[in-house]
Chain A
Amino acid sequence: MSGAAGFAPAVAVAEGGPVNLVRQSALLAGRNLRVSLGAAAVAGMVITPLLFFFGFLAVFRQMFAAHGIDFAQYLPPAIVVMWVTFTAISAAVLFARDRRTGMLARLRSMPVNSGAVVAGRLASDGVRGLISICAVIAAAHVTGFRFATGVAGAAAFVLLALTVLLVLSVGTGAAGLASTEPEAVGATLHMPAMPLLMLSTAFAPVGGFPSWLRPVVEYSPVSAVVDALRAVAEGTDLAPLGRAAAWLLVLLVVFSRAATRAYRRAT
């Protein structure tokens, strides 16, 4: 009708569909990784969690031994959950940056599957998280950390840790999409993250907390997740897995709603 010769035909192009979703998610995940995987970033993803691991281990190993706890076995799940949290927070920062630079608006104005923008983000977070998780497990192995459950247990451990990361990323992603201030959103999310990590069984057993704090620690979602990771590594009592799954499901539902809303509004 417009006689626009040479232009791509302006007929409705299906931008949905699984083929587009997979292809465009992969392209965007690749882009996210190229943007966030500079040499310094990779070093940060591997070295920083290891610094935390060896630091905590050096300071507290003797003390925990006195209470009959092998800290080399106790600590790795905590470091993994902490690092997975930090990785999710960096996802928020990267999303906010994409919004600020206009990249998000550009992608949303293109015939690109809307699921691909989010899936691409999650996939690249997953890869970044996987690198850190494997680095922590490898270092922990050197210091005596073992999976009583063998390879299957190790795989389940990594899978659970990645699930935690992705659920958290949906939530932090929502925060990132709602913000145009990458630095501010990072700082804001770090604030609740530290106390949540500390007031849990991540770094000390429930018995180590004053009695009035124990309910908080016992019912913390962080405890649920860390306990589940320990259960998978030890293979003894798998009850914590149910609690963790329930928490993750609830969080996923809440976070998805927030993320969908934020995505629609992000310009």
Chain B
Amino acid sequence: MSGARTNTLATLRGRIERIEAHGDAYAPNKVPLGHAGADATLRGGLALAAVHEVFAEGHQSAAATGFIAGLAGRITARRPLVWVRQDFSDIESGALSMSGFSELGLDPRCLVTVRAADADSALRTAADALACDALGLVVLEVWGEARQLDLVASRKLTLAAQASGVTALLLRLAATPQPSTAETRWIVRAAHSPPGTPSMPAAPSMPAAPWSTWGAPVFDAQLVRNRHGPVGRWIMEWKCDECLFSESAAYPQPVAAAPAHRPHQARDGELQRRAG
């Protein structure tokens, strides 16, 4: 009798554990970024089958795109990638160039681009694509504030990503972060190339200083929200050959200590769109 009761108790406990696990400690697979500090903070890497947001000011669009492309390269190397863009984004910050894409070490053959006319159809297309489990990744690029991308929309995207196992990356250019159900939220800026030796022999008439090396893409990535852990800020360098992020040689120390507490909303003043 007592054995049966223990058994029942154990079953119930197991059920409660499962329910709780599903609700809160949802532990999907993770993919390491390659940057030790970021991976430690993210407890192993970027969560798959979730929504991640990358915010950038308007003039930092290329850096943010590069960061997204890096994440895409980490998340899926061979599976198809759907990149949903708005027409306006092309005009404002240039179309995604396949030559540049392959220069970053990614495979343009896997990429299907959708040019949506407005944010509404872009969001709907992204939601559709997220439901398709043949994809490795869906990128949704939206320019400016979009009232369509509210908490409800973000929840829908998260559920779709969880159901299909496809990861979603939101690239928000010139937008203010709003409450959302994203797993992580990043604010990305460009960082300097590492200083180094002149890339060209300095001619007598040339000042030597500007002719220093042009290195791999370097990002100043600030993790401002992390649902399951602390946040931080790192300088990351994208290694095109190995297709991973790494610590930049030029910035040996972290530029800012990672705060232990969860941050407030991102400071709005910083995200005012500037011309250029």
A is bound by B: no
